[in-house]
Structure 1
Amino acid sequence: MDVVDAARYIAALAVVLGLLGLFALGARQGWLTGLIAGLARGQVGGIKRERRMKVVETLVLDPRRRIVIVEIDGQEQRLLLGASGETVLPDSKETGL
C-alpha cells in the first residue's frame, strides 16, 4: 500500500462521513421529513398539487359522534360520524329549516 492508495482511502472515508453528517443535519432540522412527506403527497420538485377535498370544521357531539363539514370540489357536505356508521346530513335549504 503506497501513499496514493492511503490518500484515496482517507478521501473516500471523508466523503462518506460528510454525507452521513449531511443526512444527520437534515434529519435534525426537519428537512428530511418534509422531503419524505412531499414525495408521499406527490409533490416532486416543489410542484404543489391542488387538493380537491378538505375538512372545514368539526364538532364533537358526544364521545361516540361528531359532525364534520367537508368541502369537496367547492361544495360543502355535512357528515355525521358515529360508531354505527356515517350519514350525509341534508342541506338546511333542502329541508326548509
Structure 2
Amino acid sequence: MDLATFARAIFALVLTLGLIGLAAVALRKYGPDAMARFQGVRKDRRMRVVETLVLDPSRRLLIVECDGQERLVLLGEGRVVDLKPRDAA
C-alpha cells in the first residue's frame, strides 16, 4: 500500500464520518418536526405533556393536558399516581 492509497482511505473515512455527524446535527435540530410531518401526525392531539420536573433518578412529576384539563402525575417506583387536577384547590 503506497502513501497515496493510504491518504485516499483516510480522506474517505474522514468524509464519511463528517457526513454522519452532519446528518446527526440536522436530525437533532429538525428531527422532531420532520419526523412528525413524514408520519402524518395530526396537530390536533388530545393529550400533551405541558411540563416535567425530575425529582430524583427514579421519580418524575408531569403536568399532562388532556381535553383541556391539566393533571399532575407522579411517575416512578414502578407506578403512576394521578395526584389531582392542577386547577383544583
Taking structure 2 as the reference length, what is the TM-score of the superposition?
0.52
Taking structure 1 as the reference length, what is the TM-score of the superposition?
0.48
- For residues 66 and 78 of structure 1, do their structure 2 counterparts lie closer, same or farther at Cα, with a shift above 3 Å needed? same
The answer on 1:74 being equivalent to 2:75 is no
How far did residue 75 of structure 1 move?
Answer: 0.2
From 38, 43, 63, give the equivalent of 1:49.
43
Structure 1 or 2: larger strand share?
2
Give the counterpart letter for 2:71 in structure 1. Q
Whole-angstrom distance in 1 between the partners of 2:86 and 2:48: 21
How big is the alpha-carbon RMSD for the aligned residues of Structure 1 and Structure 2?
A: 2.7
Query: Whose RCO is larger (CA < 8 A, sep 6+)?
Result: 2
Structure 1 or 2: larger helix share?
1
- For residues 50 and 93 of structure 1, do their structure 2 counterparts lie closer, same or farther at Cα, with a shift above 3 Å needed? closer
The answer on 1:38 being equivalent to 2:37 is yes
Gap regions ≥5 residues in structure 1: 1-27
1:42-94 deviations in Å (ceiling 9; x for gaps): 25xxxx53111111111111110010000001000111000321110024776
